[in-house]
Amino acid sequence: MIRLFAILAHMVLLTAAALPAAAAELIMFERDGCPWCAKFDREVAPIYARTAEGARAPLRRVNIYRPLPKDLAAIKVERLTPVFVLVEDGREIGRIRGYPGDDLFWTQMAGLMQRLDEAQLAKR
């Protein structure tokens, strides 16, 4: 039993080493009073951090009416909210404009994650 545990622990460590570093972020550009932001907060935000997407690209919120953080200076900010921008190492990978509901959001996130995979492969 101890040997089986050791083998499983070794497999977990090997798998974790093969995963890409979490250099990506999902930037949520939002504003106070945005009803679609509130809908996202009810439907997706409570579980996002516990998903594979959330592990690879943690959610970071930025209010469009406050000064833009310096590390996001190269990212175009839109007036529409919410806008979700997948960023890796300060470079935009892709974006989702608006909140289309949870089903379409996850479908679009899958597409962004695929683009992130492609960008990471291209860097190697």
Superfamily of structural domain 22-123: Glutaredoxin (3.40.30.10)
For residue 30, give the nearest of 62, 78, 58, 4 by alpha carbon.
Answer: 62
Of 105, 88, 95, 94, the residue nearest 40 (C-alpha): 105
Residue pLDDT, tens place only, 8-26: 344 433 443 344 444 899 9
According to the model, what pLDDT value does residue 23 have?
Answer: 86
Mean pLDDT of the chain: 86
Which pLDDT value is given to residue 124?
81
Task: Cis check for the bond before 82: say yes or no (omega within 30 of 0).
Answer: yes
Alpha-carbon distance of 83 to 15, in angstroms, equals 33
pTM of the model: 0.81
What residues have CB less than 8 Å from 47, skipping those under 6 apart?
54
Task: Break the chain into its structural domains and give their ranges.
Answer: 22-123
